[in-house]
Amino acid sequence: MPYAAGIQSRDTMKVELMHITKTFYGAKALDDVQLTINSGEINCLVGENGAGKSTIIKILAGYHTPDCGDIIIDGKKVTFHTPRDSQKCKISVIHQELMLVPEITVAENIFLGDYPRTKLGTVSRKQMNMRAAELLKSLGSTIDPTRITATLSTGEQQIVEIAKALSKDVELLILDEPTASLSVVDSDRLLEIVRELKAKGIAILYVSHKLEEVFSIADKITVFRDGKFIGCENAADMTKDQVVKMMVGYGVSNDKVRHRVNKLGNVALEVKHLTSRKRFKDISFKLHRGEVLGIAGLVGAGRSEILRAIYGLDKFDSGEIIVNGERKKFCHPFDAIRSGLSLVPEDRKLQGLVMEQSVKNNIVLGIMDRIHKLGFVRTKAVDKIANDFREKLSIKTKSIDVPVKSLSGGNQQKVVIARSLAMTPDILILDEPTRGVDVGARKEIHRLIDAAVNQNLAVLIVSSDILELLDLSDRVLVLKDGNIVGHFTSDEISKEEVISLATA
């Protein structure tokens, strides 16, 4: 496969998907959809969770074969049986969950499976590192190609993924929720790179739930709903409200859903001088019943690490955790759960779900002690609990008995939240609760948070979406390099001030 030294201008390319249908578990994930992507154009694909976005990406990537319909590239029909077939047509996908090998170097990841060789047939590390450095430089990055990939930030890993795609002379680049795990600064840089790739003639299919982001880069916007093609329009001719209506079938109110706390309840959680070497230092705060405390900061500032330490997932060096007036030392998450804490983790697939198990089994996973009687599972009770949360969170699934891996990413996120709420906690800890969730589901999750605080729960939340955090929170802590650099009520601080503090 030819090596692309930097961002090169590409030949014209047109990819068309016509009348594509795909069925899983008896349900149509895609129903006679169409999609067109042209060279030098950014087509943003949007839709609710379960709309079929991930399925169409996997068909283009060669992971799935459609039941019927055609893939046409430059006027010729093609069939993808494997990802290799897709790659031969110069198509590359950057998935929401990055596909890098953490234990090897940046250069090794970029050229994985296609290493430069010496005349003797051995791997030429000199050539590999030099070419990797050129690719990274063309993307405005100074990442050392000899660094171990695990030491990179999420934003840096995204850049490595793009460099990997460019090394294979890509003509169609597909990005699936690329900024979902990125800070504001890293997101802005990634969008700049996408615009540069478009300017060089690469065709780009960009999938995102962030409509502000979509309108900032899109030439065209394609909308799917419930596995069907709803429309494709020039971005300049559309408004956010029009796109939302096409996505959900009706308008979604922009009214704030949080009712601010008027009177603080008792202190549910107090953290005193919590310190973990190289992760965070001297973290102190109080969280009251009936309020939401938000934690803001860039990715890598220590936000998730603090939550994990509180929940007993990670050890810390010094400090105190006090729950409802009692000093606690959680050696395991089970200890935290017994004390009334529940966590929605940052990574739903690795930390939040048992992917091979059913939707209902994942929902009741944290309350197994309540659904047994004389050693037997109370099936009717399990079904009732799971169906109640399926309705309450609008989880889109044909049945609560299907494997949770068959759901879209956003619906998987709803299952994780349902599991935490089923545990009826006193303290609800949310780490990126709306990551990869569509605009309608985001409103539903916000309302659930509002309902939780109205029922006197204490809520601690981390979110990379600063506007969401300010909207939801009664108070906000701002972190930088593991230290608290600001503590405000949400109406005292703006998005710009949060970014300024977090990057100062």
Report yes or no: 193 and 117 within 8 Å, Cβ to Cβ.
Answer: no
Select from 44, 46, 160, 30 the least CA-distant residue to 436: 46
**pLDDT score of 351 more than 70:** yes
In which band, very low, low, confident or very high, does the pLDDT at 491 lie, cut at 50, 70 and 90?
A: confident
In the chain, domain spans: 14-248, 267-340+425-503
Say what the pLDDT of residue 481 is.
87
Same fold, 14-248 and 267-340+425-503: yes
Mean pLDDT of the region 234-244: 91
Q: What integer is the mean pLDDT of 9-22?
A: 85
Q: Does domain 14-248 have CATH number 3.40.50.300?
A: yes
Of the pLDDT bands very low, low, confident and very high (cuts 50, 70, 90), residue 6 is very low
User: pLDDT at position 502, please?
Assistant: 81
51-79 pLDDT per residue, tens: 899 899 999 999 999 999 999 999 999 99
Q: What is the pLDDT at residue 259?
A: 55
Cβ–Cβ < 8 Å for 283, 325: no
pLDDT over 70 at 1, yes or no: no
- Mean per-residue pLDDT over the chain, rounded: 87
| DSSP helix/strand/coil, 100 | coil
Most confident of 146-155, 314-323, 445-454: 314-323
Cα(416)–Cα(309) distance, rounded to whole angstroms?
Answer: 20
Of the candidates 48, 461, 439, 89, the one whose C-alpha atom is nearest the C-alpha of residue 252 is 439
Q: What is the pLDDT of residue 7?
A: 44
Predicted confidence band of residue 114 (pLDDT cuts 50, 70, 90): confident
Report the pLDDT averaged over residues 467-488.
90
**CATH (residue range 267-340+425-503):** 3.40.50.300
Q: What is the mean pLDDT of residues 248-255?
A: 61
What mean pLDDT comes out for the span 269-274? 96
* Residue written as token pair 């990379």: 464
Instruction: Return all residues near 421 (Cβ < 8 A) that are at least 6 apart.
Output: 342, 389, 428, 448, 452
What was the pLDDT predicted at 238?
A: 93
> What mean pLDDT comes out for the span 196-204?
93
Tokens representing 470 are: 């300010």
Q: How far apart are CA 172 and CA 169, in angstroms?
A: 9
Give 142-198 pLDDT, tens digit per residue: 899 999 999 988 778 888 988 888 888 889 999 998 887 777 778 888 899 999 999
Where helices occur in 139-272 by DSSP H, the ranges are 154-166, 184-199, 211-217, 240-248
Tokens coding 268: 């549910």
Tell me which range, 34-43, 140-149, 396-405, 488-497, is most confidently predicted by mean pLDDT.
34-43
> What is the model's pLDDT at position 128?
93
- What's the rounded Cα separation, in Å, for the pair 292 and 427? 10
Q: Write out pLDDT tens, residues 366-411.
A: 888 777 776 777 888 889 999 999 998 888 888 999 999 888 777 8
Give phi and psi for 40, each to the nearest 5: 65, 30
d(CA 123, CA 284) in angstroms, rounded, equals 51
* pLDDT score of 3 more than 50: no
